[in-house]
Each structure stands twice: as C-alpha cells, then as structure tokens.
Amino acid sequence: MVQTGETIAQACDEYMEWLRGDQQRKPTTLRDYASIIRVHILPAFGDMKVEDLTAEDVEVFKASLSMSNRTKIKVLTVLHGIMRRAGKRHRIQHNVVRDVDKPRQLKRSGEINVFTPEEVRALVRAASSEQDAAIYLTAAFTGLRRGELIALTWRDVDFAGHHIRVRASYSERHLTTPKSGKVRSVPMAPDVARVLDTLSRRGFCDSDDNVVFAGIDGGYLDGSALYRRYKLALKAAGLRELRFHDLRHTFGTTMIRNASILQVKEWMGHADVDTTMQYLHYSPRAEDAQLVAAAFAAAEPDPLLAATLDPPVPSPSPGRF
C-alpha cells in the first residue's frame, strides 16, 4: 500500500487550491464545495490518512447523511473529486469512493412556471425605473440569466444584426463565463432593441465597454438588490409569486412553439438537449398533431385496418320493413 503521510484534511486543502487555480472554478462552485468539505467531509474523515479510507467507511458516511438524495450525491461527488485528485498525486491506483453506489435521484416533476404576455407587460409597467423595466423585458424576450444580463456590455449588443452576444456572467463580484462555458448569440426582438436603444442614449454610455444595465456608480448592478426590486414590482403589479428565473422559462416555452429544439437549445445556452426538452413537454406545439395526421394520411392504407375502422354498412334483412 502507498504511504502518503497526507490526511484527508490536507487533501481537501490541496483540492480547493487546485480548483481555484488550474481549474478556475466559479466563486459559487468554490463556495458550495468549501461548505460541503467544512460541514460534512472534515468532521467525518479530516484526521484520516488518504490511503486508509475504505469503501466501507464511505458507505457508513453515506448512511449517516440526513438530507435529500440530491444533496447526498453532491457530497459524494466532492469526496470523489478529492480522492481522485489525491490518487493522481500519490499514484494510488484505485479510488474507493467509486465502489459506493450513489443514492437514486428521483427526476423532477418538470413543472415550471411562466409569465403570460400580459403579465410580462404588467411587470414592466410596475418597474421602479426605466432600466429595471428594460431588464425585465430583455429577460423575458431573450432568456438570459440574471448574471448574464448584469454582465452585458454595449459591445455585446448588435443593433444592426439584431442579436445579443452572451459572453459572460456576473455574480458575487466576479465576472465569469456563462453557465454553459460557451459564448452564444440570441436574437434581439424589436421591443428589446427599442428599450436598449433608449438606455444607450444616457449620458454615461460613452464606450462599448460600459455595462448595459449600470449600477449607481456606472459599474455592475447588485444582483440581490435587483431581485428585491423585482419582488416589489411583482407585488405592485398584483402578479403571482414568480421567480426572476421564470422570465427565462417564459422565453423557452414561447420559443419552443416557434423554433426547432436545437435552435432554442443554442439560444438558451443549455449543455444538452434534454434540458431544452422540458419546454416541449410543458408547451406542446399544436401543429404536432397535424404532422402526425398528415404522416398517417400519406401512408399506404392497410385494407384490414381500413375494414376495422370503417366497417361496411349491413344490408336490411328481407321483410324487415
């Protein structure tokens, strides 16, 4: 057996440094991982040597976790990453966490909430400022996430080409890549172009590098403060308790009726098409039934099936009338 002389606590420290440096993980991810390590992994295994951890230890640990299966999977994923990283550094051939089955995760119901067109307009009218109104409209008409909206600069807005380029996201005072890790372009509807054009005429918008939705000092907006104003606008408009993220869902369910699934996937920056499919399940297209009918109508009729579905009318019996 390899003798590392390293405790799991030390392996955790090295793992987090690696994530911060070489992997350049987002601040939100680092915060979540650090919390899992501090609350769950260190109390259970902190003083143990890396090479002494067994699958049985991990099984007992998994059984002791009082949380949803989804959260258990997160904890085990972090532990697996720590041990995999330590294994590479110390040439340990086998990661014992791999021998432990992850809890079964039930699929979500798929229920999502969306705004109606009238509700979007009511929210926009109830906004506390012209800029907030533009943010709500842009979120609903482009599907951008809150952090992506905050990160937008005028360089990203192509009025001539009628599209918005999503290159970054902003959260917790850090500018990062979008959630998918990819740059994408989203069509810009005339309503969005109009409100953004109005914002662009403000006196301090003198550079392509200026943010579109500016904070008090011309810098990035405070996302938490934006959300609080959004909640007040909801209440002022007399609307249902919908999340800011539901503006993004509104774009998804609206566009899935009018564009291909792959187009919507690209516009929304989904990592896989399964995520986009939730909108199709929520908002099936009326023309799908017509497509099915047309496909069967074009098929060569089956005489037996035709006889079953449309049986001949029997002749009247002699002497019946």
What confidence score (pLDDT) does residue 303 get?
A: 57
How much is the mean pLDDT over the chain?
87
Angular region, 91: left φ>0, alpha ψ -120 to 50, beta rest: left
Band (pLDDT 50/70/90 cuts) for residue 124 is very high
Q: pLDDT (tens digit, 9 = 90+) per residue, 278-313?
A: 887 766 556 666 666 676 666 555 555 555 555 555
What confidence score (pLDDT) does residue 295 get?
A: 65
Q: pLDDT (tens digit, 9 = 90+) per residue, 259-287?
A: 889 999 999 999 888 888 888 776 655 66
What confidence score (pLDDT) does residue 307 get?
A: 55
Percent of the chain's residues with pLDDT above 90: 64
- Percent helix, strand, coil in the chain, to 5, is 55, 5, 40
DSSP 14-62: HHHHHHHTTS---HHHHHHHHHHIIIIIHHHHTTSBGGG--HHHHHHHH
Return the amino acid letter for 257: R
What confidence score (pLDDT) does residue 321 get?
A: 34
Burial class of 89 by CB neighbour count within 10 A (0 to 12, 13 to 18, 19+): middle
The domains found in the chain, sorted by start residue, are 8-99 (1.10.150.130), 117-282 (1.10.443.10)
Place of tokens 């002791």: 64
Band (pLDDT 50/70/90 cuts) for residue 174 is confident
What confidence score (pLDDT) does residue 76 get?
A: 96
What confidence score (pLDDT) does residue 316 get?
A: 55
Sign of CA dihedral 164, 166, 168, 171: positive
- What dihedral angle (degrees, nearest 10) is formed by the CA atoms of 41, 47, 51, 57? -50
Distance of CA 288 to the CA centre of its chain: 26
Band (pLDDT 50/70/90 cuts) for residue 257 is confident
Q: Is the pLDDT of residue 254 over 60?
A: yes
Contacts of 230 (CB under 8 A, 6+ apart): 132, 136, 244
Band (pLDDT 50/70/90 cuts) for residue 176 is confident
